[in-house]
Amino acid sequence: MADSVILVTGGTGLVGSAIKHIIDTEPAGSRFGKRAGERWVFVSSQEGDLSDPAQTKKLFEKYKPTHVIHLAALVGGLFKNMKYKLTFLRDNMLINDNVLHSAHLTQTKKVISCLSTCVFPDKVTYPLDETKIHLGLPHESNFGYAHAKRMVDVQNHAYKDQFGSNFTSAIPTNVFGPNDNFELEGSHVIPGLIHKCYLAKKNSTPFVVSGTGKPLRQFIYSYDLAKLFIWQLREYDDVEPVILSVGEDEEVSIKEVADAIVQAMDFHGEYTFDTTRADGQFRKPASNKKLLSLMGGFEFTPFDKALKDTVKWFVENYNTART
């Protein structure tokens, strides 16, 4: 009989599958490895559509999780967010309300839900830190998704205040890694450009980078993020969110990302910028000071190595990847 049942919603996606990889490969009993008495359950929408309260309730009654890492969400890059603002707002609010309320009803001991650094106000002093989430409007390109995610922080405080629930949240920066969504249109920038560069190399077609290439981003490797979620599950019990990101000094431009992908893909052609397409938010530099001070430091995978590993995974899994 397991002492704890850890339910990972969104368990088959980019971040969920990274957590499964770490739990399966780190030495048992180590800081990020599986512990004795733990049962880890990774679910996708096949096990239940979490935007439906009845299916959510059924899932929680089936697994009776003691802990939940709540990753399930309608997720997409800049262009998908710009196009479907109401859908991102409503679907994610439904999913989040159902998961938190089912966790409350089934007395789940702890829930960590997932925000994103895009929830921060677009006009605020930098660096972004955990105290600034609600100090202004998010960038208009993803205000639907951003507001849905910000509400999770509000819900967590309300559950804590009224019921003493141990519901908290994580604020990851842009994530990339194996098993990402590599669709050409709806994906985030790194998987989108990896796929575009792969096709340019294979078919000698143009490699087009959207926007000006000037915006700046921080990127965290999914396997590193997975370790931070496992740390937060085991060692952090405050309602306030924690930013899970590489340092502010790791900001790179979209052009630098494109150049790194060209390198990793061993592509010998040229690329051009399609400046008719949006740049989105110029930058969202997040501080990881709180995280590092609580963890006593963390060794992030170097960006170029993480990118090379992701490109390798994509090329080897092209036929089954989400494209």
Show Cβ contacts of residue 30 under 8 Å, excluding neighbours closer than 6 positions: none
CB atoms within 10 A of CB 154: 11
| Under rule CB under 6 A, residue 174 binds ligand GFB | yes
Tokens of 318: 């092209």
Per-residue binding letters, 96-115, with ligand NAP (x by CB under 6 A): ------------------x-
Burial (CB < 10 A; 0-12, 13-18, 19+), residue 46, is exposed
- 95 contact, one of ligand NAP, ligand GFB, none, CB 5-8 Å limit per kind: ligand NAP
- 44 contact, one of ligand GFB, ligand NAP, none, CB 5-8 Å limit per kind: ligand NAP
CB atoms within 10 A of CB 167: 25
The DSSP secondary-structure symbol of 245 reads -
**Given the complex with ligand NAP, which of 98 and 165 has the nearer CB atom?**
98
**Given the complex with ligand NAP, which of 88 and 200 has the nearer CB atom?**
88
**Given the complex with ligand GFB, which of 159 and 207 has the nearer CB atom?**
207
Q: Which of 6, 7, 16, 215 binds ligand NAP (CB under 6 A)?
A: 16
| Under rule CB under 6 A, residue 150 binds ligand GFB | no
Question: Pick from 39, 97, 35: which is nearest to 63 by CA?
Answer: 39
Q: What is the CA radius of gyration of the chain?
A: 19
Residue 159 annotated among the catalytic residues of the structure: no
At its nearest, how many Å lie between ligand GFB and the CB of residue 13? Answer: 13
Q: Which of 175, 197, 233, 321 binds ligand NAP (CB under 6 A)?
A: 175
C-alpha–C-alpha distance, residues 171 and 25, integer Å: 25
Q: Which of 49, 122, 129, 248 binds ligand NAP (CB under 6 A)?
A: 49
Task: Using alpha carbons only, give the angle 9, 60, 88 rounded to the nearest 5 degrees.
Answer: 40
- 122 contact, one of ligand NAP, ligand GFB, none, CB 5-8 Å limit per kind: none
Tokens of 75: 């997720």
The DSSP secondary-structure symbol of 137 reads P
At its nearest, how many Å lie between ligand GFB and the CB of residue 79? Answer: 6
**Given the complex with ligand NAP, which of 12 and 323 has the nearer CB atom?**
12
C-alpha–C-alpha distance, residues 50 and 39, integer Å: 21
Show Cβ contacts of residue 166 under 8 Å, excluding neighbours closer than 6 positions: 109, 110, 111, 160, 237, 239
Subset of residues 235 to 254 that bind ligand NAP, contact rule: CB under 6 A:
none
CA distances from 241 to 32, 152, 175, 176 (A): 20, 10, 17, 21
Binding stretches for ligand GFB (CB under 6 A): 77-79, 81, 116, 118, 142, 145, 174, 187-189, 192-193, 196, 209-211, 215, 217, 254, 277-281
- In the complex, which residues of this chain contact ligand NAP (CB under 6 A)? 10-16, 44-46, 49-51, 71-75, 95, 114, 116, 172, 174-175, 181, 188
